[in-house]
Structure 1
Amino acid sequence: MPRTALEEETVADVGVLRERLWTGATVITAVRTVASAAVAAWAAYDGSLTLLVVALGIYWVGDIADGTWARLRGCETRIGAVLDIFSDRFNAGAFYLGLAWLQPELSPAIFVYLAEFMVVDTFLSIAFLAWPIRSPNYFYVVDRAIWRWNWSKPAKAVNSALFAVLLLATGWVWLGLAIAAALLVLKCWSVVRLLRIGLPVPSAAHVG
C-alpha cells in the first residue's frame, strides 16, 4: 500500500530514529535542569532576585544547548524530547514559584501563566507521541497552524520569554495577566484544533 505524503515526509525527514536514553543532549538536559533548580532554590533561600534570574538564564541557555546539540549531532530521540518537555516545566515552575515567593504582588499573573504552561502546553507538547515524529519541533507534518503558533522559533520565543522578560522588566501585574491570558487562549485554541484533527488511524499493517 503506498505511503501518504505525511508518511513519506515523516520517514524521510522527521521520523523516529533509534531510541537512546543517554546522549549528549540528554546529559545537557539533566545538567541544566539540576543546575537551574539548585540556583532557584538558593535564590528563594537567600531572597535574591538576581540569583533567580541566573536560574532562569541557566534554564534558557541549557534548553537551547540541548536542542542544538541533538540536531547537530543527530541524536534527537522521542524519549529525549519528553525529558526536555518535563525538565522545562520543572525549571519554569521553580523560577516562577520563586518569583511569586519574592514578589507576591505578581502572583495572579504568575499562576495564570503556570496553568497555561504546566497543564495546557504540556498536554499539547506531549501530543506529538501519537504520531511517528521525533518531537513537537516537527509537528508541522501533522498540522502547520498548530506548529506555527506553538513550536516555530518565533512562537517559542514568545511563549517562553515574553512573559518573563516583561514581568521582570516592568513589574506590572496587569501586563503579565494580559500576556498570560492571551497565551492561555492561544493554547486552548490549539487544543481544540488538535481535538478536531483527532488521533491518527493505525495502518492495516499495525492492526491485528
Structure 2
Amino acid sequence: MFTGLITGVGTVKSVTALGQGRDARFTIEAPAHAPWAGHVAEIGASIAHSGVCLTVVESGPGWWAVEVSAETISKTSLGAWAPGTRVNLEASLRLGAEIGGHLVSGHVDGLARLLSVTPEHGSTRFLFELPAALAPYVAAKGSVALNGVSLTVNEVEGQRFGVNIIPHTLAHTNFHTLKPGDEVNVEIDMLARYVARQLAFSKA
C-alpha cells in the first residue's frame, strides 16, 4: 500500500527485453537526495513507480532493477519508458505511519490523456481525458492517483476532469515533464471501486 505522496523522482537507466515475449527489465537510478541518497533497495521490496507497484529483483547503491510483465506494460505508461524517463517514486507504506494523501494500492486501472496545461493563479491546472470505462469512478472533490500522485479532483465534465498542481508538487514530481498528448497512469479511488461493485450486485 502507498499514500500517493512522492518522495523522489528517479530516472530509467536501461530497458532490456526478457525472453521472446514482451516482458521487460527496467533499471532505475534513485534520486541523489534524501531519503533515497545512497539507498540500497531490499530484494523483494515493493516500490511505486509512477503509480505502478513493482518488486525489486536486484539492487545496488542508488539503483535497483524491476521486471515487468507484458500485461502490466500494455495497461500502463511503462511501454513508453526509455533511458532518461523520469519516474515518480514512493516506498511502500509502513504500518503506523501517517497517511498524508489517500490509500493507493499501486494497481493501475488505465491511462488518462493530458489535454492541456494552464497556469492558474499560483498553481497549474492540468486537464485530462479518461477512458469511458473509468469516467464514472472519478468525482468532483474526490481523490485520484495520477502517476502515483494523490490529487483532489476539481471538476468533472463527461470523460474530462481537472486537477490543480501546486508549485511544490510540480517541482518534485514528473508532472513538470508532461505535455499535452502524454498519458499518465490512473488509479481510481479504492472506495469508488468497491461502491461500484456493490451497486452492480444490488442491481443484479
The TM-score with structure 1 as length reference comes to 0.27
Rg bigger for which structure? Answer: 1
More helix, by proportion: 1
More strand, by proportion: 2
The TM-score with structure 2 as length reference comes to 0.27
